[in-house]
Chains A and B, each alone.
Chain A
Amino acid sequence: MAPVSTRISSISRPANPLLGFNGALERLAWMAGSLLVFAIFWQILADVLQNKYLPTPLTVFDVLLREGASGALWEHTSATLIRVAFAFVVSMFIGTAIGLALGRFKTADRFFDAWLILFLNLPALVSITLCYIWFGLTEAAAVTAVAANKIPNVAVNMREGARSLSKDLDEMAMVYKFGWWKTLRHVTIPQLAPFFAASARSGLALVWKIVLVVEAFGRSSGVGYRLSIAFQEFDVSTILAYALAFILIVQFIEFTVLQPLQARVNEWRR
């Protein structure tokens, strides 16, 4: 019966694939292998087609190095990253506040639900052009336009979180006289954390894409601006090089900040 008991003990102590060193290494190896196959496929396709609008991965890599050496890459990506950071923080903050309020107050929820649907379905292009027309081609208008796109998403997510708060645990905290601070810290926030983490992850992906559009429209720095110039010159290598650089940066943030955060938030789960 030895195998049975081993199996049971391995069930009661599940290894978290996100935390284990070997697990991370294995995941990384799979990813590297898969990307390598993609690059080879791309290289072959580019070699066969011999079209100047489909450069080979090696050409793109050369452009990336050139832009990096000239300092342009750093200048544009840092400008974009700062805008992403601002828009991300602003929309997480305001979206969370709105979501929690709607989740708690039924009348407000009934009334503002239609507004939320309106803003959820407002095309990014509309909010961006309107922000630039109303507030001018300024940094504040750019960040506002991005936040306007993300806030409804965060609000809907956090409203769901606020609605699902456990009445049972609330009563427990009341009977045992937790007080508002202990209740917030140990009862309420842990229940909202998964919703917040999910909003943050999907938020980063959405925000940086919209920031590029905002930059292409009305800013004279940033990856979006650089891409719009490259588009005018039909410079596909530069477009791909910047796209690659930004994908790498966002994936890095995802791996080092957001995924560990989500794993931590869910640590207690069975």
Chain B
Amino acid sequence: MAALNGANGDAPIRVAVQRKIFPAVGRREAQLVLRDVSFEVAPRSFLVITGPSGCGKSTLLNIIAGLDRDYEGEIDLGPAKDSLAFIFQAPRLLPWRTVYENISLVLPDGDRRREKIPAMLERVGLAQAADAYPERLSLGMQRRAALARGFILEPEILLMDEPFVSLDDPTAQSLRDLLMELWHSQPTTVLFVTHDRAEAIQLGTRILRLAPGKASVAQDAVVSLSEAQRHDRAAVLAEQNRIFATT
């Protein structure tokens, strides 16, 4: 990755959202979703944004991705902004295109990375399912395809919005392992949203906790676990208790 680090790889991502309001709709009043949420993310770090549901995590991610432009503040992704992938909570695959086509479609025409698709499918365990339509696959397999679609771009920024919810424990764990493996072989800046504290500790190098109700950052902590410890339930639990002790 040395070549990437040189020119643009070392600029941090700067996020500064002063205010994000959902306007009033019908009988529901306008709602303050985010206030003074500012942070920087070091290149190739794994930042987990956590907090209870409804605290604005997904909204923040949509703002960073450029999907939501109605906010006060500034997002500076630096040169990396043209190399961004987003893995959504629902897999959001095109049901009328095969798994292979879904992955191939995110690449520009004639892109050399297309040659890497078979190897990528092999890595995520979907080599046999390349020509299957997504709806014929289990949710776990669809999520693997969504991971492959994100990583095939070799993005400099990878946004993930609760990508492993509504899976049974073993399936979710195998997907987390897969994500770790892909991330280690293809280091990139990850912003990962989850409400699952154990998942946050297991994956993240740094944790940002949004406070419920206050719509702002409540805690910013570094996870100090070795790779081996991340697979040790007791170590993860101990770290989880240390970081989330304040609540």
By a beta-carbon cutoff of 8 Å, the part of chain A in contact with chain B is 12, 168-169, 171-172, 174-178, 182, 186-187, 190, 268-270
Contact = CB atoms under 8 A, between A and B. Distances in A.
B175 interface: no
B94 A175 contact: no
B96 A268 contact: yes
Interface residues on B, range: 20 to 34
B65 A268 contact: no
A190 B94 CA distance: 9
B96 A175 contact: no
Give the interface centre of A176, A177, A186 by most chain B CB atoms within 10 Å. Answer: A176
Contacts of A270: 133, 135-136
Contacts of A268: 95-97, 133, 135
Contacts of A269: 95, 135
Contacts of A187: 94
Interface string B131-150: 00101100000000000010
B67 A175 contact: yes
Identify the 7 closest CB pairs spanning chains A and B, nearest first: A190-B96, A176-B106, A268-B133, A175-B86, A268-B96, A172-B92, A270-B135
A171 B90 CA distance: 12
A168 B91 CA distance: 10
B67 A168 contact: no
Contact of B88 (A12, A172, A177, A178): A172
A169 B97 CA distance: 13
Contacts of B86: 172, 175-176
A171 B94 contact: no
Nearest to A175: B86
B122 to A, nearest CB: 22
B126 to A, nearest CB: 16
B105 interface: yes
A122 to B, nearest CB: 35
Given A176-B86, A269-B135, 15 more contacts: A12-B136, A169-B92, A169-B94, A171-B67, A174-B67, A175-B66, A175-B84, A176-B149, A176-B153, A186-B105, A190-B94, A268-B95, A268-B97, A270-B135, A270-B136
A15 to B, nearest CB: 14
A175 B85 contact: yes
Nearest to A265: B96
Contact of A186 (B65, B84, B94): B94
Chain A facing B: main interface SS: helix
Contacts of A12: 136
Contacts of A176: 85-86, 105-106, 149, 153
Nearest to A169: B92
Contacts, number: 48
Contacts of B136: 12, 270
A19 to B, nearest CB: 15
A79 to B, nearest CB: 39
A68 to B, nearest CB: 44
A168 B90 contact: yes
B105 A182 contact: yes
Contacts of B88: 168, 171-172
A187 B88 CA distance: 17
Nearest to A166: B92
A190 B92 CA distance: 15
Nearest to B97: A186
B128 to A, nearest CB: 12
Nearest to B108: A177
A12 B129 CA distance: 13
A178 B84 CA distance: 13
A49 B144 CA distance: 71
A190 B27 CA distance: 36
A7 to B, nearest CB: 17
A259 to B, nearest CB: 19
Contacts of B90: 168
Contacts of A177: 106
A186 B96 CA distance: 8
A268 B102 CA distance: 13
B133 to A, nearest CB: 4
A171 B62 CA distance: 10
A172 B84 CA distance: 12
B85 to A, nearest CB: 7
Nearest to B159: A175
A268 B101 CA distance: 13
A205 to B, nearest CB: 26
A83 to B, nearest CB: 34
Nearest to A14: B136
A269 B133 CA distance: 8
